[in-house]
Chain A
């Protein structure tokens, strides 16, 4: 899959309370959750997103709660992938499980808000079209790739049901 979009830049330790504040956790409709994504730290975020846009962040992205509402809100706001120097473990598995592509990039500090990126998810290659740069990423572990290819963990479960 090829993803092409503009970058929304965040810093280190972006947590699940910032991604989707708890007052919206009475909702499970992904579109409603998306409307409130990053509401407290980046008001109007979801209105600005064009499908295909990409979040680029620093270390420990998604730390905090286990709320799957966080990757759901991001995915349904139109964000096609999140690239960060590292991810908090529960956010990482939640994103994989619901089919939101994640990439670990070492050189995130070279990428700025508004840059246009092109990502090839199979190879993990990331091109910065604005700056004419290419970044290397960690390829997905084989087991994770299997879940992603099937379209998430529930499809993986279905593949096991006779």
Chain B
């Protein structure tokens, strides 16, 4: 049995098989300032009067916060009232907040073997912890608050094996962009994506989160990396909650297996308007940019800021480029401050934003005008994703994004690095 089947079977109490519809108990029910208001409406339409277990509910106000306008402020106020009324303690915002998928691991709220459902598509991030995390909708969240359960179709699993040594400036972002480029934006629709191999086992947690985070950009139900010593060290530093590590047994079956020799992968760029439009950065003709964004649940981790700072140190952002750096959580912000990274960014001419999803979805803190072009470490480059429908987003890793901010065009880090 593969690990996803094992987790689902353990939760349901019998062996499940791919393709069947099941209702499973879940450990964490996650919502944010965009999706939770609809969940409240659905909850209040039902005959239920109370939440099955308020301690399982986690709400993070991260998308349009610090609130960008009156309507977004009203939504957050409604959520706060609901949380108070129903005794939901895990409500994170302001100075105790951050982007949900970086915050939950940091707070030690997710452990290996958990099932996490979130009304946010990037809930697949928790696969990096050996949990089954999957994006659902607001009504699903309401249903889970009422019953403690969620309906799912048991997925088939595709196994991705990465071997070889990474080239300079290549990281988790490049591996997942390359993979999405290979299988397409629906290459893993309704399926789980298990990431494995010697390259993955050498990656730090921050890069594993990046890989699992973008499973949804290939349509994946969830990403999964089998927990190892690196995972358990991360978990043990953050929580004492008991956990269970699931490992694939020898007769595990996969619907497909794909192997990648990573030594042949250079930094990747996804061209507009699909995350699967990936090319190696060295193959691009000069593409001038107006904005560069380093942040998001994909690449706002401490390691990402370190990589960006190593390129920006002692250099200046191109005078016609706005560089926006967004640490994913308050804790990452503080660590970056301690390490001197924030000073490097400001010296270079970047704007440092408080943690927010902000520009990634064209919300605020860096919305694009008509005809503008951005390079970003975010996860989607659909039409109008970062603002005007006639703007463009190119997706890349933090090193490529930092180098591009300096040169004013999409550039390889090797063009600026010593």
Binding site for B on A (CB under 8 A): 13, 15, 17-18, 21-23, 25-28, 40-41, 59-60, 63-69, 72, 86, 88-90, 93-94, 97-98, 141-144, 147, 152-154, 156-158, 160-161
Contact = CB atoms under 8 A, between A and B. Distances in A.
Given A17-B385, A60-B189, A157-B146, A89 B219 contact: yes
Contacts of B190: 89
Given A15-B382, A94-B138, A153-B42, 16 more contacts: A15-B383, A21-B384, A22-B362, A23-B363, A26-B64, A26-B75, A40-B384, A65-B121, A67-B35, A69-B38, A86-B186, A88-B189, A88-B219, A89-B219, A93-B140, A94-B139
A157 B143 contact: yes
10 contacts: A17-B385, A22-B361, A28-B41, A63-B186, A63-B219, A66-B35, A66-B118, A90-B136, A153-B139, A161-B48
Contact of A98 (B34, B139, B385): B139
B137 interface: yes
Name which of A64, A89, A93 has the most chain B CB atoms within 10 A of its CB: A89
Interface residues of B, number: 52
Interface string B366-403: 00000000000000101111000100000000000000
B21 interface: yes
Nearest to A29: B41
Contacts of B71: 26-27
A13 B140 CA distance: 23
B185 A157 contact: no
B46 interface: yes
A155 B38 CA distance: 16
A28 B37 contact: yes
A67 B139 CA distance: 10
B101 interface: no
B38 A28 contact: yes
A154 B121 contact: no
B383 A41 contact: yes
Contact of B138 (A26, A60, A68): A68
Contact of A66 (B121, B146, B153): B121
Given A66-B118, A89-B221, A97 B362 contact: no
A93 B137 CA distance: 8
B24 interface: no
A131 B285 CA distance: 47
Given A13-B186, A64-B382, A90-B121, A157 B37 contact: no
B45 interface: yes
B363 A22 contact: yes
Contact of B120 (A28, A66, A161): A66
A120 B361 CA distance: 37
A111 to B, nearest CB: 20
Contacts of A152: 139
Contacts of A63: 185-186, 219
